[in-house]
Amino acid sequence: MFRSNFKYILMLLLVLSLGAYGQEYFTIGDYNVNIKVNENNSYNISEEINAHFETERHGIYRDIPSTYKGKNIKIDNITVKGAPFTKGRAGGDTRIKIGDPYRYVLGQKKYLLSYDYTVGDDGNKKMDEFYYNIIGDRWNTTIKKVRFTIEMPSDFDQSKVNFTSGLRGSKDNTGVEYHIEGNTITGETLKPLGPGEALTIALPLPEGYYRNTSKFNGPLDILSYVKKWAAAVFLTIISFVWFFFGRDKRVVEAVEFYPPENITPAEAGYIIDGTVDTKDVTSLLFYWAEKGYIEIVEEDTHGLIEMLTGKDYTFIKLKDRKDAPYYETMMFQELFYKYGDGNQVKLSALRNNFYKITNKVKSIIKKHKVLKTQTLYTDASKNLSALMKGLAILPVFLEGYTRFYTLTGDLYIGLPFAGAFSLIIFGVTEKIVKLIINFEVKREDMKLRFSRTLMNIIPFIIIVSVFFHIFTMMTFRGIFNIADIILKTVIFLISFILAEFTLKRTDYSTEILGKLKGFRNFLIHAEKSRLETLIKKNPQYYYNILPYAIVLGVTNVWADKFDGMASKPPRWYRGHRGFTTHTFINEINKSVQSIGSTMSSRPGSSSSSGGSSGGGSGGGGGGSW
């Protein structure tokens, strides 16, 4: 079996290899290149390509890279003698397509083309250089002989001239013969260049060798310059805005024995961390149960059924929920009258269906009138936070747009793609930042800790960023690509977190937050004697508080505090295990998780400079068409 399969694999590889070589419809006998280097780091280039077509083709195309080390290369004054041609884009290249679409050529054919190639200011303040691919590494045919003449604008150190040939990265300098007379270098290859092989000259020059160089050759140079500094500049602006306009007032945490009046546990969950999650919505079931509206019955499922589907529960309606906020009455009605029989409903009946109601409840809670028509955050801070997030994401947009422009050469086609890319990054980052802020420690505690830390490290990050960019402008920039990406990513995340922190609470939500935090601290740190007093006054105190303990994430601590004090299960819950506060809370935690995942579940969707060969500017390649 293996031998049979191996035989077919070898045959497939053979066919593919023959197909690859079959693409070589022509060869180049002589390739003559004349380059005049000007003092402003622009080159006047003429090429003579003597091709031999073994199959009828319309002509050849010549691809010339339009960028080098993130910089625009200006390619103009293109001429082709004796043949029609068109100029266009092919990825990041300028493509010169030579030939007649209505005629074919066969046998020997000479092509004469010339163009100006302007590098301008290379941004390297330490040295100048002439690092150029006389023949690029993207020709898909064999070039039997290359002859070249290079005329430099002034004297240079002849001992530093280095030619390399071969595949990209090759340092082989034995395949070229050359001599220098005055400021002119002439030479030729000693062996053919195969498909993908290049011929490159690397000539280090003293700083100032080139004069009157152009700093910007096109939009890419401007974009590259702007995006280089954008992240650090925007971080500075966002830090300033957050420090002076986005910091919340000090929250006064008074000791509270009960949650704030007229605040449901779902609203409490929203107020304390600024988000409404599934656990907040699930807490309403226990809230209704404690108020006497429903009873929760744990079904006797076990073994394989429980392992595959989780525990099942039955919610029994004791009376209708009226005179309550709209989101409560709406959820109550949907739960019993749409998914149940009007009197009871099983949790399993909600799976893959109830998520729409859950999401609707989350949306309504944020706008509920219990907040006295006031939003959680001031309108001004919401607008400011959105603006700061826009500034934070702008360097990502510029990075994406620059990449698309480099690839297409079109100023407009990259806009929607870069915009879509930025929106994806924006959405993912916003989710991650909110998750980080709300993980374990509630938002305001994390916000305080982050704020103190960021106030110390932001000036350092900005200074490092500025010096990093100054340093990379003075050295070989290619080495620092990874470090540059890491630095920009760190700056982007810090900027986004600060933009999120720019949201400023209203006076009302700050007051309620203080009461909730005071209440939460009491749940965590309450003394046993105080709890015994509260239970004497209200025997159901433990269960009255339970829905709020769920959203505040302190159920286990709460169980420890009441260990031995609550000896009977609540009147609204029926289970199948012996009762202790710990076993009850353990079951409650499991039920919250099970009920929450079921209520939010969705149906599954179906879908089927010593230099190396090829390392310089220019060159590119070509082929036939």
Nearest Cα to 145, choosing from 21, 32, 59, 51? 32
Which of 45-49, 244-248, 438-442, 501-505 is the least confident region?
438-442
pLDDT in tens, 134-149: 999 889 899 999 999 9
Give the pLDDT of residue 80: 95
pLDDT in tens, 76-129: 899 999 899 999 888 778 899 999 999 999 999 999 999 999 888 877 778 899
Q: Which two tokens stand for residue 294?
A: 């429903």
pLDDT in tens, 269-304: 888 877 788 888 888 988 999 999 999 888 776 654
CA distance 497 to 9: 53
Average pLDDT, the chain: 79
Residue 410 phi/psi, 5° resolution? -105, 130
Which of 123-137, 484-498, 502-516 is the least confident region?
484-498
Distance of CA 544 to the CA centre of its chain: 44
Which of 1-5, 60-64, 196-200, 538-542 is the least confident region?
1-5
Say which DSSP state 338 is in.
I
Predicted confidence band at 622 (pLDDT cuts at 50, 70, 90)? confident
| Cβ–Cβ under 8 Å, residues 198 and 165 | yes
pLDDT in tens, 242-263: 888 877 777 778 888 888 888 8
Q: Is the pLDDT of residue 478 over 60?
A: no
Using alpha carbons, list the distances in angstroms from residue 265 to 111, 201, 276, 583. Answer: 80, 73, 11, 23
CA distance 374 to 402: 43
What share of the chain in percent tops pLDDT 70? 74
**Range from 14-18, 223-227, 334-338, 364-368 that averages highest in pLDDT:** 334-338
Q: Name the residue type at position 367.
A: K
Residue 268, judged by CB atoms within 10 A of its CB (0-12, 13-18, 19+), counts as buried
Give the pLDDT of residue 304: 45
What share of the chain in percent tops pLDDT 90? 26
Give the pLDDT of residue 443: 44
pTM above 0.85, yes or no: no
| Cβ–Cβ under 8 Å, residues 257 and 541 | no
